[in-house]
């Protein structure tokens, strides 16, 4: 695998490691920039633009060393944006592994070829299921839904830890949407439902005043999903 270049493509990182982004780990969270989806409810909207050169290799190494000494991290989460757009993502993952860290990758599933290539070097993959496949072109402006299907199939066959997750918008994710999602993910090991949370800086102005997803709806959809996944969890429901 190629070496990580001097400019790593890591756009930024959380100043404090997370106990929730990588289950079972104290994890540093690193962000890449650029995304090929246009999710109106994205909380990382500043990362939707063009990819940047990012931190230097020296700067990245300094953050890891600091997190190890101060916070005792044992893992990293690479998120975005969409990390699979980073040309040297394999080199970045390999570099983190060389630092004796477990690696979790967050992805939208749009690059199944790279995902399959990366799996031997990853410890955990979390893939977002935005909606039913038929709704991807209108909901997130992504037409190559065959790539989403392929990534789901790849992760179903993988022996590592994979998680699929959906952020539920009451005004959009109807029972019919959920039935179609179930057809896509039937048989996965872990599925997570998350509430939509309105914010003043969401890309879609109309979503900034939408209601937060109700706990009752999340519980109802969790019950729908339960027969089709090994485990169904709800995050952020408080």
Q: What is the CATH number of the domain that holds 179?
A: 3.20.20.70
CB-based contact 124:160 (threshold 8 Å): yes
pLDDT of residue 173: 97
pLDDT of residue 124: 98
pLDDT of residue 158: 97
Identify the helix (H) or strand (E) that includes residue 3: none
Average pLDDT over residues 217-224: 98
Residue percentage of the chain with pLDDT more than 70: 95
Q: Is residue 80 situated within a structural domain? A: yes
**Where in the sequence is the domain holding 223, given as residue range(s)?**
10-234
For the chain, give percent helix, strand, coil, nearest 5.
40, 20, 40
Q: Is residue 4 situated within a structural domain? A: no
pLDDT in tens, 116-155: 999 999 999 999 999 999 999 999 999 999 999 999 999 9
pLDDT in tens, 87-113: 899 999 999 999 999 999 999 999 999
pLDDT of residue 54: 82
Q: Is residue 95 situated within a structural domain? A: yes
CB-based contact 237:217 (threshold 8 Å): no
Distance of CA 82 to the CA centre of its chain: 8
pLDDT of residue 49: 60
Average pLDDT over residues 48-63: 83
Cα separations in angstroms, 234 against 12, 195, 213, 218, 223: 28, 8, 12, 7, 11
Residue 77 DSSP SS3: strand
Q: Is residue 2 situated within a structural domain? A: no
Q: Is residue 139 situated within a structural domain? A: yes
Mean pLDDT of the chain: 94
Q: Is residue 3 situated within a structural domain? A: no
Q: What is the pTM of this model?
A: 0.95
Q: Please give the tally of structural domains in the chain.
A: 1
Average pLDDT over residues 38-66: 85
- For residue 51, pLDDT beyond 90: no
């Amino acid at each position: 695998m190629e070496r990580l270049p001097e400019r790593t493509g890591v756009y930024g990182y959380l100043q404090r490691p997370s106990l929730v982004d990588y289950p079972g780990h104290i994890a540093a969270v690193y962000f890449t920039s650029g995304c090929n989806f246009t999710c109106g409810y994205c909380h990382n909207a500043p990362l939707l633009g063009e990819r940047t050169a990012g931190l230097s290799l020296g700067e990245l190494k300094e953050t890891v060393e600091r997190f190890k000494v101060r916070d005792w991290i044992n893992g990293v989460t690479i998120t975005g944006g969409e990390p699979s757009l980073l040309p040297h993502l394999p080199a970045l993952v390999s570099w983190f592994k060389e630092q004796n860290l477990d690696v979790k990758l967050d992805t939208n599933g749009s690059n199944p070829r790279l995902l399959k290539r990366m799996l031997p070097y990853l410890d955990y993959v979390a893939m977002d299921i935005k909606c039913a496949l038929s709704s991807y072109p209108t909901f997130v402006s992504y037409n190559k839904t065959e790539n989403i299907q392929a990534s789901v199939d790849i992760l179903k066959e993988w022996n590592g830890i994979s998680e699929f997750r959906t952020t539920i918008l009451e005004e959009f994710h109807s029972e019919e949407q959920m039935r179609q999602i179930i057809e896509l993910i039937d048989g996965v090991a872990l599925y997570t439902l998350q509430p939509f949370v309105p914010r003043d800086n969401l890309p879609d102005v109309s979503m900034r005043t939408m209601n937060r997803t109700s706990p009752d709806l999340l519980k109802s959809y969790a019950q729908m999903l339960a027969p089709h996944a090994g485990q169904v969890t709800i995050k952020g429901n408080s």
